[in-house]
Structure 1
Amino acid sequence: MAPDREWSGPELVGRSLELDLIGDTLHSAVAHTADTLVVSGDPGVGKTALVRQACARTDPATLVLVGEALPLASVNLPFLPLRTAFRDARLQEGFPRPVFGSGGQATNDSIAAIDNWLSVISRARPVVLVIDDLHWADEATLDTLRYLIAGPRDRPLSILATVRNGAVGGEHPLQRWLADVRSMPRVSWLPLRPLDYAATGAQLAQALGAEPHQSLISEVFSHTAGNPYLNRLMVSGLPADSRHLPPRLPPDLRAAVLRSWHSLSPQARELTEVMAVGGHPMRAEDLDELVQQPAARDEAPALLDEAAAAGITDRQPGGILWWFHHPLIAEVLEQRLEDGHRRRLHAAFAAHEARLLDRGSPADFETLAALAHHHDAAGNTADAFAWTLRAAAAATEAGGMGGEVRLLRRALELQGSLGHDPQEREALLKSLRAAAANAGAMEDELEVIEALIAETAAAHRPLELAELLVRDAELRFTTGREFLARARMQRAVELAGADVDSRQYALALAGLAAAELWNNEPRGAAHASEALAAARRPGNSRALSSALSANAMAAIATGDLARCRELSVTAVEAAAHTRDFWALFSAIMWQASATEAWDSQPYIDCLEAGRQTLAGLGAPHVYIATISGYMASSYMAIGRWKECGLALRVALGSDPGVMGDAGVRLTAARLALWQGRQHEAETHLARAEEISAQKSEFMNLPFDPVRAEVFLAAGNPGAAYEIAMRNANPERMGRNMNEWKLPLAARALADLIERAKGEGRPTEELLALADDLLRRFPSLPHEAFESELYTRQLEAFTLLYRAEIGRARSAPGNPEEWVVAADAFRDTSLCWEEAYACWRAVEALLVPSGTDRAKATEFLRRGLGLSRQLQALPLLTALQEIAAQARIATLGPVPGSPAGGSVQWPGLTVRERELLGHVVSGATYAQIARALDISEKTVSTHVSSMLRKTGTANRKELSRLVTGQANARAPGHGGP
């Protein structure tokens, strides 16, 4: 590793704490204190990358010397890491490199010469000595490092070393060296752990260039356990939109996993291959029973110990069972076996598991699933089918809904290869449908539903086919294929019309009514009423809940919120009684819609109550995640971005389904956009568009408003205008977030006109478009929703719309339009729009000649406070630039932050924000250290990090930036 101060790799994810800890050691040299840190971890966990990035961040005046130990088995070159470190050092004139002695041992003279040389060098500038892969270092290097570590306390020398877990045995010199230095003063240890689930997802996004699907993250994490190197290999070459891993592991990954395994004895390799085929932690005596080679029998404990020393196996907690140190090892070992040998081993395991049952072992899910798997892998199809059905039943009893789905899918495949039995196949399909519904596996359920539709004769079972068509339409909606397929619902009504007293007829009518109401068709309300009358006849809770929800929807369409609340509450009760989670989810959403506007706290509270109801009933995560996504959207709208982030994490904690995923991505895009992370916003939007087939046709998702915002922030107002006007008609605009669309269209025109003026181009055509826009839409289309809050929100957006038109026209009264709009948004808790209106108000008040400087100052400070609170970096930057250009002072306490308290600032860690409050208040390093019970060195390290992140040169400049005095351009765009 060359001592290049530029970090050329990707930004490390999930390592902020570790980077801070290494930064403390590196800063010791700057503070004239000797310090040593040993970073240990498994192969591929990222030790070298972490150290390289930390070194790239250290003080530029520091001399970083980097040496690598190499696995030279046949050559013993003394001091090799030190030679490479000193050879590549960029030294000042007059500092010759040290001369190493000859031979394979470290003599007193050679060690002293190296020590003296480092002392001389470090007097001129702080020195950091990095030794990578210490486990391969020669004894001369180890002896020299021990001597350096024991050197003067006040020498500005920091030593960093990386060492691999399990790389050497107990008799290796490194083990003695580690034991020696561990007891020395000023030596610290940093065990580097794998990435967690969230950080793994962030790394995959980095590797793929797009946000990965949750199912892909789950599969990768289950294979790699968060090892960063294996994460990268696992997705190498995969398309960015992949939902699953390929069936076979990439060759590079297999080679990386097996590198240590090849060093084992033949007997240990054979034993671990057997254990890999077993597929789960095992006892040593069971492995003895299963090995094929006599030489390996009765030797399992010793062979497992040998494999453990090489980092291949681990003894599990409790000390009885053994399994692989990393889950990928088992998979790679089994894949490399010859097919016939693998089948024989699986047959042996099937017989072994059967013997355990005969001896009285419990027939639990794990045992039954293992038997099914081994018979299947051995090619025993009939036995595999029988055991798979037993395992699926056991999964149901154990609550393993996902496992039941997988097993029943496999049983269906096995049944097909055993011979065609239509009745048995239909029974399996129905079992699989029920299991998928209980697990929330909507893609699986849809596949089964469509198979049942294809195999159900309309002439013989019309009611059954009608019910299947209704569910098919619902699933096509939730998986993003089609927005409430009216044709399917209409066909279902026709089929079920043969028995108007049936639950299927009520279900079909309710589904048709919902589809018609979404499309503003007048027949929808009548069909909803007819559905409710039909549902009450058979007394079926599922049909009753759906019909009640359809009538709640009809009530809200006429503005009758009281009626909507009454109906939706009853719908929730009916669906909860029958544990129909789809119907319950729908009823909860209509209940929330009748409570208040979706961008309000009462709406959020209603959704939270509904989420708790679903969780209490054991609903599949897909419904809970989808509700969390709606809550995130509402939190985002009212400026509670931290709660928004938490809700987004819940929604993406596992696969939330296509519709849930799309909605969550759109919310995440808006949050990233307003906080200045343009690329992240574009990535989320692209992912939402990839997973939703019809995009804008899904009227419950704000594709067009979010697209328009993204284009505006990217500096493309022309595209933003086209997007905002794509579905501009009064009948279709009164849907989710469409109050935003006309103001966005007007904003895009105003931006285009300002750009044309700046470039000296004519503006007549653009002004004509603005006039036409106002003529066609003198007011905003809106929901038939008559709550006081929604009415005030609509008034605020109307004021915003008019202000944007006024900006396009350069109207004389435009400054006051922005002032009134900002106040209207403040009164409705729509903080982002309030901050934006403050920015535009300041611009209008100061142009062309400082119309009202006092009011401009008031709104500037108000906008700055909101922008800091929201961490809206583009707005913050724009307002700071205006303040600097107009020479408006913005001194005063940071809004929301008492002196010495935590200051919100984009990109800083929690600890850094805490320190920033003290820096702004003027505290010294010593005062900050006492207040936070940390060392002055740690304070200095954090301050250096904050200077780097904010692009400031010193504490004074940092304080000025945070309080709004500096004309510093933060990263991001000039407007949200």
Structure 2
Amino acid sequence: MLQSVERISVSPVFIGRGEEMGVLTEALDRAAAGQPQALLIGGEAGVGKTRLLEEFQCTATKAGACVVLGGCLEVGAEGLPYAPFATILRRLHRELGRELELAAEGRESSLARLLPDFGEAVPEANDEFARARLFEHTARLFEKLTADRTLVLAIEDLHWSDRSTRELLAYLIRTLQQSRLVLVATYRSDDLHRRHPVRPYLAELERLRTVQRLELPRLDRLQVASQLAGILAPDEPSPELVGRIWRRSEGNPFFVEELAVSVRQGCGTGLTDSLRDLLLVRVEGLPERTQTLLRVLAEGGSTVEHELLAGVLDWPEEELTESLRSAVGANIIGPSADGDGYRFRHALVREAVSDDLMPGESVRINRRYAEALDARPGLVSADQRAARLAGYWYCAHDAARALPAVLEAGRQARRRNAFAEQLKMLERALELWDDAPAEVLANVRSYDWADDSYPFCDCEIADACHGERDCRAMQLVDLLAEATVAARLSGEADRGLRFAKKALRLVDETTDPERAAWFLLARARAVRWKSDNAGEADLDRAMELLHGRDSSPVLAELLSRRAIDALLSRALGGEREMVFRAVEVARASGARRVELHAQLTLALMHAHFEEHDEADRVFAEIGDEIGASGDVDLLARLYVNESHHLESVGRSAESYEVARKGLEMTRAHGMTAYNGTLLLGNACEPLISMGRLDEAARLLAEAPAWPGEPKHSDFLERLRGEVALLRGDLAEAAAQLTACRESGMTWQPQKLIPAATLAVRIASAGGRYADARAEVQAAIEQGLLPGHEREAWVLLAHGAAAEADARHLPTMAAGRAEALARIRAATAGPKALRPWFAAWRGLVEAELARAEGTDTPELWLATAAAFEASGLPSPRDTALYRAAEAQALAGDREAATASARAALALAREHGDARLVREIEQLADRARLALTETPVVRVVPTASPAFDFNLTPRERDVLRLLAAGRSNRQIAEQLFISPKTASVHVSNILAKLDVPTRGEAAALAHRLRLAG
């Protein structure tokens, strides 16, 4: 009977996936043309994701592509980072050999973190930057490999992926823009519960233009019939059998296979509805020896090496081979991708076998795995050893052996910059801590800290201990500190908060104030993004604990942090004193790195109080030292802060150059997703100011999907919204604004005010002036604080412009006076000491005058002249447009034409499609020639039979009349006198042969004369 099972367990025909294969094939063709593709294939367990990949692999291979598969691991390898990429690189190394080595030349020490075959990974001083470097170098490797071939990289079981694997995959999708690459990933959709980390990850990836997401549906009845016909051939399944299997399988291809096997074995109705029973029925039909092998294999993880399995079972080679042959022949298991081990053909079967074990049986098997791997470490690859061993000892419930193994796995994860996996290992260590014997705890040592994250070492702890209980508690505090930093670096603020709280319950503030202050600072960091005053109590308490100290790196960091928070959010008072003292304390402590950070904060403080010359001096003073220090963190912050300062004072060209250099530096060091997120935004912002929208859009499209700084994603989303708005895409601009605000962090004035400004602009462009007024009011109530002059003046200018645009709307009359008074009162807040800010203030005053109907051409021309020195096209284009409008209204058509032409050139240079349209409409209404060659105006009519001999100007008047405008309003809109408008209305009534304006409007609408 087993022989028949072996022949029919896999469907010999490929059913029901023609559409999906078409999508994959089209993606392959596009990739071959240099357009990289990414496809996410989801579906429930057993729906046929692996089979689809196998078929696509055959198609791609025939087309000349190189196809490489890697899989994510689960049980027995939890916490193992980059597993599928390690498998992919290992297989590429076997296939390409020397070619892969040449492509990796110069990056071997970084790539060795993924594949030890590249050599030994060189220890790095700044782990978090090395991690980003690893991602960049991996991308460059695949870029080189695809120079003369199409490469297909497939990752199976993404639902089991570790966070580092997901981040690397997203990074490749984002950054590889011109490669002949197809990235395919499969995942189980039924495993993605509401809180599963892959769920939001997939949603974010799906937003990218190059990503396609396919969900494999279940088979319908006809497809099940075709599948059964192939499996049961040469016998033909009866309609009754097809219906029964279709109903019980619900169209799941794997279940169809299992039920078909049961039918062939004579058990067509003997299976229960239990999934486990269905999955185990064939396992239980195998010899007892083979079932034992499968139980052991199921506990070993997704894939188990042959030598490791042999070591655990300790059977004679002949018996092991026979049992393996039986399991493989029954298609329960198959060879691994590397060919040196085994894995279950379907994960559901492995899960069912594992779940069927008795608790004690599972513990014993995991212990045997751990003992075998302890005795012979070479049984698994070096990159997996620590994580696998930690997993086995943990599942063996042996705290004495598991704790050191888990800590070592966490240490290796940190060295590989896999902070999420390190955090998982540290959490297991905390779970095991109370069960570990005292002699084991006595040998536990903290990490070798590569930065200033935790300035305490083991020897200090040992000297401070008094007795076993105190020593154990202090060691636990060290472990909590490691977990706190790992949580921060992996973006898990809530978990870091939990660790810091627990540590603060263990630390005695009286005997160890420095350590207590460190954890208070960590707790404040964990909550600082929740609101503008979160964590202040902890910072205050930390300051109290360190009161009177003149030399302390923790105090210097604390002072610098408080000053930054004050500058970025709500001024707390005493910022200057905090910054200067931070510099002094850091200098007294010999912490030069902390001192330089404090001096960067000092430069920001000078800019905050409009001491821009002093800010320039400090940036120049410390720039050379930071550049020579080799500290890329400091250098990145220098580029971030200086480029932001330059843009804020209107020096956009200089700002872009600084940010561009910063981007080049971060890319060269493989850290584009660290401070690169801010630098990317700081490079795009001046490009938008200078009208280089295409360059800005390209940069924003290259933004890596990296969660290292999720608090800054709103910055890029807002900039995308600004680009969309300038291009006239209101829907996209609104969508980006929504994403920006949902990202959080808008409580900072430097984020809140620009987001509010974008909202005002979008609302005004859509005619939602009440919404624009509400946005301005809310922002003013939040407070336009010193240090944010540029953001404040831009908001007020657009707010006043919205009120001016709505001047004639009756629905906006109520509250207009209060709104204008509120804006005018707000102008007393932000200073305007520099010419750039004085020009913006002039624009606000001009828009307020327009809202009140008192603006003049001279006022707008003076505003345009004030902006001229900046060399930027905007908002000078807006001022000239308004000047042309006022000049046309005053009857000076020659001057209006000159202003309109200048405004149009600047608006086109700026890329402001909406302003270009408004200038063209102004020229149309006021009869202004925007070019030297007059343009013949064609006025469309709905029907030549009903033109009534109306002139083009009379049609303009009729359109406004049909909209309910008075003669005075018509005159203002068309830049004619009220008397002339009245004459046009009389002529229209006569030509239409109607007695009243209302009937003329009705006729115009009915015959579509109003346009």
Q: 2:393 aligns with which of 365, 375, 384?
A: 375
Q: 1:458 aligns with which of 500, 509, 517?
A: 509
Mapped partners of 1:393, 1:297: distance in 2: 37
Q: Which residue of 2 aligns with 1:800?
A: 843
The Cα shift of 1:603 comes to 2.3
Q: 1:355 aligns with which of 372, 390, 401?
A: 372
- What is the CA deviation profile of residues 112-146 of structure 1, one whole-angstrom value per residue up to 9, with x for unaligned ones? xxxxxxxxxxxxxxxxxxxxx9x9xxxxxxxxxxx
Q: Which residue of 2 aligns with 1:120?
A: none
- 8 A contact 2:860–2:880 mirrored in 1: yes
Mapped partners of 2:867, 2:915: distance in 1: 16
Q: 2:799 aligns with which of 712, 733, 745?
A: 745
The Cα shift of 1:496 comes to 0.8
Quick one: which amino acid aligns to residue 338 of structure 1?
D
What are the residue-to-residue correspondences of 1:640-651 with 2, within 5 Å?
A: 640-649=692-701, 651=703
- What is the CA deviation profile of residues 606-652 of structure 1, one whole-angstrom value per residue up to 9, with x for unaligned ones? 34444566677776944332333333334333333344344435554
Q: Which residue of 1 aligns with 2:830?
A: 781
| Percent of aligned pairs sharing the same letter | 16
- What is the CA deviation profile of residues 200-230 of structure 1, one whole-angstrom value per residue up to 9, with x for unaligned ones? xxxxxxxxxxxxxx999859979x9976996
- What is the CA deviation profile of residues 550-597 of structure 1, one whole-angstrom value per residue up to 9, with x for unaligned ones? 433343345444543454566678889999887766555444455563
Q: Which residue of 1 aligns with 2:897?
A: 854
Q: Which residue of 2 aligns with 1:639?
A: 691
Q: 1:813 aligns with which of 856, 859, 877?
A: 856
Mapped partners of 1:783, 1:417: distance in 2: 65
What are the residue-to-residue correspondences of 1:209-608 with 2, within 5 Å?
A: 259-260=253-254, 263=257, 266=282, 278-279=300-301, 281-283=303-305, 298=322, 316=337, 320=340, 330=347, 334=351, 337-338=354-355, 340=357, 344=361, 348=365, 351-352=368-369, 354-359=371-376, 361=378, 364-416=382-434, 421-436=472-487, 444-477=495-528, 479-482=529-532, 485-516=535-566, 519-520=570-571, 523-568=574-619, 588-593=639-644, 597=648, 600-608=652-660
Q: Which residue of 2 aligns with 1:145?
A: none
1:466 aligned counterpart, secondary structure: helix
| C-alpha distance 231-822 of structure 1, shift in aligned 2 (>3 A) | farther
2:738 aligned counterpart, secondary structure: helix
Quick one: which amino acid aligns to residue 257 of structure 2?
S
| C-alpha distance 226-330 of structure 1, shift in aligned 2 (>3 A) | farther
Q: How many residues align?
A: 695
What are the residue-to-residue correspondences of 1:83-162 with 2, within 5 Å?
A: none
Q: Which residue of 1 aligns with 2:724?
A: 672
What are the residue-to-residue correspondences of 1:41-80 with 2, within 5 Å?
A: none
Quick one: which amino acid aligns to residue 849 of structure 2?
G
- What is the CA deviation profile of residues 726-762 of structure 1, one whole-angstrom value per residue up to 9, with x for unaligned ones? 3536645735622211102201211321333xxxx68
Mapped partners of 1:745, 1:556: distance in 2: 25
- What is the CA deviation profile of residues 888-918 of structure 1, one whole-angstrom value per residue up to 9, with x for unaligned ones? 787899xxxxxxxxxxxxxxxxxxxxxxxxx
Q: Which residue of 2 aligns with 1:715?
A: 767
1:406 aligned counterpart, secondary structure: helix
Q: Which residue of 2 aligns with 1:627?
A: 679
Quick one: which amino acid aligns to residue 541 of structure 2?
R
The Cα shift of 1:369 comes to 0.1
Q: Which residue of 2 aligns with 1:689?
A: 741
Quick one: which amino acid aligns to residue 358 of structure 1?
A
- 8 A contact 1:648–1:664 mirrored in 2: yes
Quick one: which amino acid aligns to residue 705 of structure 1?
T
Farther off after superposition, 436-445 or 526-535 = 436-445
Q: Which residue of 2 aligns with 1:828?
A: 870
| C-alpha distance 380-618 of structure 1, shift in aligned 2 (>3 A) | farther
Q: Which residue of 2 aligns with 1:923?
A: none
The Cα shift of 1:544 comes to 2.0
The Cα shift of 1:801 comes to 1.9
- 8 A contact 2:722–2:758 mirrored in 1: yes
Q: Which residue of 2 aligns with 1:959?
A: none
| C-alpha distance 218-555 of structure 1, shift in aligned 2 (>3 A) | closer
The Cα shift of 1:370 comes to 1.1
- 8 A contact 1:216–1:243 mirrored in 2: no
Quick one: which amino acid aligns to residue 458 of structure 1?
E
- What is the CA deviation profile of residues 41-83 of structure 1, one whole-angstrom value per residue up to 9, with x for unaligned ones? 999589xxxxxxxxxxxxxxxxxxxxxxxx9xxxxxxxxxxxx
2:648 aligned counterpart, secondary structure: coil
TM-score (norm 2): 0.56
Q: Using CA pairs under 8 Å that are at least 6 residues apart, name the structure with larger relative contact order, 1 or 2.
A: 2
TM-score (norm 1): 0.57
The Cα shift of 1:672 comes to 3.0
The Cα shift of 1:363 comes to 7.8
Mapped partners of 2:614, 2:39: distance in 1: 62
- 8 A contact 2:904–2:916 mirrored in 1: no
Quick one: which amino acid aligns to residue 677 of structure 2?
A
Q: Which residue of 1 aligns with 2:808?
A: 754
Quick one: which amino acid aligns to residue 843 of structure 2?
L
Quick one: which amino acid aligns to residue 428 of structure 1?
L
Mapped partners of 1:394, 1:666: distance in 2: 38
For structure 2, the 5+ residue unaligned runs are 1-19, 31-36, 71-84, 86-134, 136-162, 174-181, 204-214, 220-248, 262-281, 438-468, 934-1011
Mapped partners of 2:916, 2:300: distance in 1: 59
1:500 aligned counterpart, secondary structure: coil
| C-alpha distance 812-582 of structure 1, shift in aligned 2 (>3 A) | closer
| C-alpha distance 627-866 of structure 1, shift in aligned 2 (>3 A) | closer
1:340 aligned counterpart, secondary structure: coil
Mapped partners of 1:574, 1:447: distance in 2: 38
The Cα shift of 1:781 comes to 1.9
The Cα shift of 1:260 comes to 3.7
Mapped partners of 2:296, 2:926: distance in 1: 76
1:695 aligned counterpart, secondary structure: coil
Mapped partners of 2:860, 2:375: distance in 1: 81
The Cα shift of 1:435 comes to 4.0
What is the alpha-carbon root mean square deviation over aligned residues? Answer: 5.8
Mapped partners of 1:41, 1:693: distance in 2: 30
Farther off after superposition, 294-303 or 724-733 = 294-303
| C-alpha distance 305-796 of structure 1, shift in aligned 2 (>3 A) | farther
- 8 A contact 1:623–1:656 mirrored in 2: no
Mapped partners of 1:364, 1:19: distance in 2: 36
- What is the CA deviation profile of residues 638-677 of structure 1, one whole-angstrom value per residue up to 9, with x for unaligned ones? 3333443444355542114342123333323333333334
1:501 aligned counterpart, secondary structure: coil
- 8 A contact 1:439–1:620 mirrored in 2: no
